[in-house]
Structure 1
Amino acid sequence: MSEAVIALRGVRAELGSRPVLRGIDLTVHRGEVVALLGANGSGKSTVVRTVIGQVPVGAGEVELFGTPRRRFRDWRRVGYVPQRTTAGGGVPATVTEVVTSGRLSRARLGVLRRADHRAVRHALELVGMADRAKDSVDALSGGQHQRVLIARALASEPELLIMDEPMAGVDLASQEVLARTLERQVASGATVLLVLHELGPLEPLIDRAVVLRDGLVVHDGPPPKAVGEHALPGHDHVHPHDDVHPHGAAAGTGPTRTGLLS
């Protein structure tokens, strides 16, 4: 088995006084692409925010590249794309300036060298935004904003890429660009952990799906075949208003599997 890039063991976490993670065990090995799925409030985003240190761990252990997170310092190895937000954070900035900020962890004494500028240009090319390099991020569409955020994460040439709902609210064309970008990262050996609403164009890349429910892992294995509103393990619900069930079964003859992903 390859190196564990992310390891959570018995992780518990609270937001305010509300328990959100209630004993999560999760290991992501080098080169894997793992999708976190689950309903609203299941704990998906809290898992990734716990991994990167934004949410404190109440119990259990989190390790990155074999090092306890509390002692981990080599953050240039990690690229993080948060839930959809304004790329410039409300501050006037160009596309290049935003993406360059993701390279600073590798810059020597904060001074960008030729290799750093090349990495920024390459990141913009990967997400199809090189032609908008000098534009203000305020002039971008939602899908373009998301591409810039991903380019910012890629600029540091990370070994581990963590993405929280990268496809949410993004048009199909941008989804396809992001899928191709991620495919290149995976081909180069990157490890990826994604929070997803649905697999969409990323489905061929996903090695494992980890489904959360009420802060617990209820499935860890091959992705459910038809991920969407009706296909999460452990979510059985009868729809009395349905006229016909999947596969042609008459209404009332059995439950349909329902699991809202978000």
Structure 2
Amino acid sequence: MDDMDVTSEAVISMRGVRAELGARPVLRGIDLTVRRGEVVALLGANGSGKSTAIRGVIGQVPISDGEIELFGIPRGRFRDWSRVGYVPQRTTAAGGVPATVTEIVSSGRLSRTRFGVFRRADHAAVRRALELVGMADRAKDSVNALSGGQHQRVLIARALVAEPELLIMDEPMAGVDLASQEILARTLREQVASGTTVLLVLHELGPLEPLIDRAVVLRDGCVLHDGPPPHAVGQHALPGHDHVHPHAPAGTESIRTGLLS
């Protein structure tokens, strides 16, 4: 979205957000706005506050100060959670509970049903979500029989089945095999093309790099950089990586270091 209209609706707004885990400050006054149609990546070293920030957005982590709004509504009063899809860091999709792939994905559709009763459109949405992530052929299988990458694809299908306007993902590529990475990148491209707003935590940009409009780099619970994604990926995109590459054009490494170190 090169010509993003700065007046477009703020889907996520965080202003002066602080949070602690135990007695340890994790977020130290975060300001972050994600506007409709944007794809924003949260980058930073381990412990920088990335996952805490997005868990704060969805209410899984209490904040001690500041304000969070979703679609212009204070998070404490926000009730329309079917507009938000969330993909947590990779875990077993069923949490150890025996369940089929279809059952796990269907659980993500409940917010769109009346009293939990599935109609034809709901069943169709489940099939469509499974097809999007390349898991339709495993629909009746137990999730306990899946590989790590397949687990992640099921979690993403569960988030997509409610057809959310906002998709929040916590390290969707972590520990995922290359084939699943490619499927996830393709799935995300389709969601972005349809207008979905995306906020995701990444350890590195990887195959998602072409989709990213903005990168927000955190360090020690503070925003270090909010702007164009850094050209370097992996550890090179994280705070504190400041060595000079002999193959880099003169001057480019110093610019990158100024942003990210």
Q: TM-score, normalised by structure 1?
A: 0.91
The percent identity for this pair of structures is: 80
Q: Does 1:86 align with 2:88?
A: no
Query: Could you tell me whether the CA contact under 8 Å between 2:42 and 2:215 is conserved in 1?
Result: yes
Alignment partner for residue 187 of structure 2, among 168, 173, 181? 181
The corresponding residue for 2:211 is 205
1:105-136 per-residue CA deviation (whole Å, 9 max, x = no partner) reads 11111101110000000000000000000000
* Cα distance change of structure 1 residues 193 and 223 upon mapping to structure 2, 3 Å threshold: same
Name which one, 1 or 2, has greater alpha-carbon Rg: 1
1:65-115 per-residue CA deviation (whole Å, 9 max, x = no partner) reads 000000000000000000010001110000000000000011111101110
The corresponding residue for 1:3 is 9
AA aligned to 1:100 is S
AA aligned to 2:122 is D
AA aligned to 1:27 is T
The corresponding residue for 1:156 is 162
The corresponding residue for 1:33 is 39
Query: Could you tell me whether the CA contact under 8 Å between 1:236 and 1:258 is conserved in 2?
Result: no
Q: Does 1:63 align with 2:81?
A: no
Query: Could you tell me whether the CA contact under 8 Å between 1:230 and 1:259 is conserved in 2?
Result: no
The corresponding residue for 1:13 is 19
Structure 1 gaps, min length 5: none
Structure 2 gaps, min length 5: 1-6
What does residue range 201-240 of structure 1 map to in structure 2 within 5 Å? 201-232=207-238, 235=240, 237=242
Structure 2 Cα separation of the partners of residues 226 and 207 of structure 1: 15
Please state how far the C-alpha of 1:204 moved relative to its aligned partner: 0.6
Q: Per the alignment, in what secondary structure is the counterpart of residue 230 of structure 1?
A: helix
Q: TM-score, normalised by structure 2?
A: 0.91
Structure 2 Cα separation of the partners of residues 121 and 208 of structure 1: 32
Looking at secondary structure, tell me which structure has more helix per residue: 2
1:189-236 per-residue CA deviation (whole Å, 9 max, x = no partner) reads 10000000111110110000000000000000110001221234x525
What does residue range 122-201 of structure 1 map to in structure 2 within 5 Å? 122-201=128-207
Query: Could you tell me whether the CA contact under 8 Å between 2:204 and 2:237 is conserved in 1?
Result: no
Q: Does 1:119 align with 2:125?
A: yes
Q: Which runs of 4+ in 1 moved over 6 A?
A: none
Query: Could you tell me whether the CA contact under 8 Å between 2:27 and 2:221 is conserved in 1?
Result: yes
Alignment partner for residue 53 of structure 1, among 51, 59, 68? 59
Structure 2 Cα separation of the partners of residues 183 and 231 of structure 1: 22
Q: Does 1:77 align with 2:83?
A: yes
Alignment partner for residue 49 of structure 2, among 43, 62, 79? 43
AA aligned to 2:213 is D
